[in-house]
Amino acid sequence: MNGFSMRVFRIPLLRATSWLLGGLAVGLGQDDSPQGRARFESGVDTDAKPWTHLNFLNDPEQFQFAIVSDRTGSPRAGVFEDAVRKLNWLRPEFVMSVGDLIQGTSANGDTNAAEWDEFMGWVDQLEMPFFFLAGNHDIQAKWVDGRVPYEVMRSQWEERFGTTYYYYKYKGALIVALFSNDGIERHISPEQVSYFKGILADNQDARWTFVFLHHPLWASPHDSNIHEFEDLLQDRDYTVFAGHQHMYRHFERKDRSYYVLATTGGGSPLRGNDFGEFDHITWVTMTNEGPVLANIRLDGILPDDVAGDDVAYYSYLLTMSAEVDTNVILEERDGKLGEGVAYLTFWNRSPHAIAYRGSFSHSHHAHTRPGNLEVALKPGASKTVAVDIEPMAAFASDDRVFLEFDGWVSFDEPGLPGLEISGKHAIELKNRKIELAAQESLVFYDSIEFDFAISPDIGEIRYTLDGSKPDRSSSIYTAPISIDRNATLKARLFASNGTPSEVDTVSFQEIEPSQGLICEYYEYGDNRSLRYALPDFSLMAPTTSKAVWKIDPESDSRREESFGLVYKGFIDLPESGDYIFHLESDDGARLLIDGRTVVDDPRKHPFREVSGEIRLEKGRHSFELQYFQHKQKMRLGLEHTLPSGKRRPVSTESYSFGN
């Protein structure tokens, strides 16, 4: 967004000034009123001061006003109403317009009047004065079949607003509102010229003159008499503002500044600043040296609650939950790669629905079908999409050919923040092992249901359970596989053209219920956001699982950073009453007993202890301890204070798993 947000505070203007510097009151006149006792106070009494200077920009003769541009000419719903709301935030002293306030294409006077009623309902919400100026949609000079005639439109204007051209003075500045459709299109009537000749003559002492008209007559291809009015201005300082063309432009003319404003809701392609096509408010500050202008885009004016206190949570959650894995199968003959399939697996590891969309950038090496993708995922779900690859010419694996996928992901539920994350994903066109399963080795007692990470609808997944290499005659995966004995599962994905992937292997070991815990080990891959807080392990598949006798991250992990552990089973407590559990961790951990969170310290932190209290009965309770390690030191320890008041480490003999 090419705008800025701002908050303006109103400060009372004082006739006499006093202030305190370093505790010393310095007066420029005496004013004992509450407003006049101090404009600036500080307790700083050092020679050096924590500010640059005290020349406050609070001259009582300085003022600020805003200008809105065309609302109509193919109006876009809601934009002008948004401007009204934001003007009340910015709080200019008044608002000026450059016309085209209603569409004015009504069939009769009644419907035209209804358009004015609608518009008045909006500007009546402004807390500061609004000054009207007529554009060609407000009073149409040329006759158009099916529209309200000029006479009716002008009569309605004058009934509501009194006059089509006028002036006013504010703090020594003269503001002139012209009517550039006065009987003849793009024309200032002789009566107007004569009227303003007198007004300008009577106000030669004006500190500045602001001229407003709808049509930029100086840049119009039609004949106009703007020079007659400019001749009246030649000996004074002035600035001119117009609209109509829906394209912002600044002109240097007659050593003065002339502006054509863009839109405040009028029809526009909105191609951006460089095209002069944007919705905006023009902010004018009148100083002793002349006006200072700033164009504030509507999409850059933000409320004080633009981001709530939950935005950090949802931002982290979206970043943590979204991930895309890619795999490729290509035909290979005589060292050259040909057609094949790219498999994109989209993940959602959050408790909310999310949606992906994206497209493949143009490639000089291969065509992709489809080129655009949209994927909606429920919480905890994943989906694999197959994309056909047609090389323009065969290439070698060593040629390092890539496809680039531009993607966006956002929440897909009403009521959640409109956050969207974008990114590029480079997919190398090279055969490599496809991780059909997230798991490598698992233990179980009784039985286990196993799912592949890639959905079965994008190609044939063939598998065996006896350790043999699968082929096209092996079992085909269509639903979760039930395993109730030791097994070595081997699987291959066969693309639509019959090309197979390399073999992926998962081992299963049946164990008997025993003392100890089941330890699930999770490796995070490339998702960096998973390294700074506990993920939702229930939405992930463990890399490995095994039975352990004690809680020991160093022994239960395969690397020193970017992993998670979950210890599951039961804990046997010796007495009933209130227990306090003391959890030591570095980087983060969470303890759950009977499904209830007892200690929650999930964010990355240095070594520390956090405690939690829970009332429990004597006997066996379900137990789960979650832990994640980012990098450097890894520490995890658990003690408890018994209802009797004794504190001690949780005994390894109190842990068990199984029935």
Residue 340 has pLDDT above 70, yes or no: yes
In the chain, how many H helices and how many E strands?
7, 41
Domains of the chain in start order, with CATH, are: 63-300 (3.60.21.10), 315-428 (2.60.40.10), 441-509 (2.60.40), 514-657 (2.60.120.1560)
Name the pLDDT band for 187 (thresholds 50, 70, 90). Answer: confident
Quickly list DSSP for 191-234.
Answer: HHHHHHHHHHHHTTT-SEEEEE-SS-GGG-SS---HHHHHHHHT
Distances (CA, A) of 54 to 12, 57, 59: 17, 9, 13
What's the pLDDT at 27?
39
| Backbone phi, psi, residue 85, to 5° | -60, -40
Are 436 and 454 in contact by the 8 Å Cβ rule? The answer is yes
CA 536, 504, 365 angle in degrees (round to 5)?
90
Per-residue pLDDT tens digits for 594-608: 999 999 999 999 999
- Rounded-to-integer distance, Cα 175 and Cα 554, Å: 77
The whole-chain average pLDDT of the chain stands at 89
Which two three-digit tokens encode residue 213? 């008209």
How long is the chain?
659
Q: What is the mean pLDDT of residues 574-583?
A: 97
Q: How many Cβ atoms are within 10 Å of 9's Cβ, its own excluded?
A: 5
pTM of the model: 0.65
Which two three-digit tokens encode residue 609? 């202890």
Q: What is the mean pLDDT of residues 331-356?
A: 89
Are 551 and 638 in contact by the 8 Å Cβ rule? The answer is yes
**Residue 193 carries which side chain, given as an amino acid letter?**
V
180 phi-psi bin (left φ>0, alpha ψ -120 to 50, beta other): alpha
CA 295, 297, 303 angle in degrees (round to 5)?
120
Residue 16 has pLDDT above 60, yes or no: no
Are 631 and 561 in contact by the 8 Å Cβ rule? The answer is yes
Please report where in the chains the tokens 């009151």 appear, as a residue: 25
Rounded to 10 degrees, what is the CA torsion of 293, 299, 303, 308? -150
Per-residue pLDDT tens digits for 79-127: 999 999 999 999 999 999 999 999 987 778 888 899 999 999 999 999 9
- Rounded-to-integer distance, Cα 15 and Cα 344, Å: 71
Per-residue pLDDT tens digits for 34-65: 444 458 999 999 999 999 999 999 999 999 99
Q: What is the DSSP letter of 277?
A: B
Q: What is the mean pLDDT of residues 351-371?
A: 92
Are 164 and 157 in contact by the 8 Å Cβ rule? The answer is yes
Which two three-digit tokens encode residue 142? 């040329």
Distances (CA, A) of 430 to 230, 238, 331, 389, 500: 71, 68, 10, 12, 14
Per-residue pLDDT tens digits for 544-563: 999 999 999 999 999 888 89
Residue 68 has pLDDT above 80, yes or no: yes
Residue 33 has pLDDT above 80, yes or no: no
What's the pLDDT at 110?
87
What percentage of the chain carries pLDDT values higher than 90? 68
Per-residue pLDDT tens digits for 148-174: 888 999 999 999 999 999 999 999 999
- Half-sphere exposure (Cβ direction) of 588: Cα atoms closer than 13 Å: 17
Lowest-confidence segment of 355-364, 496-505, 542-551, 647-656 by average pLDDT: 496-505
What's the pLDDT at 528?
59
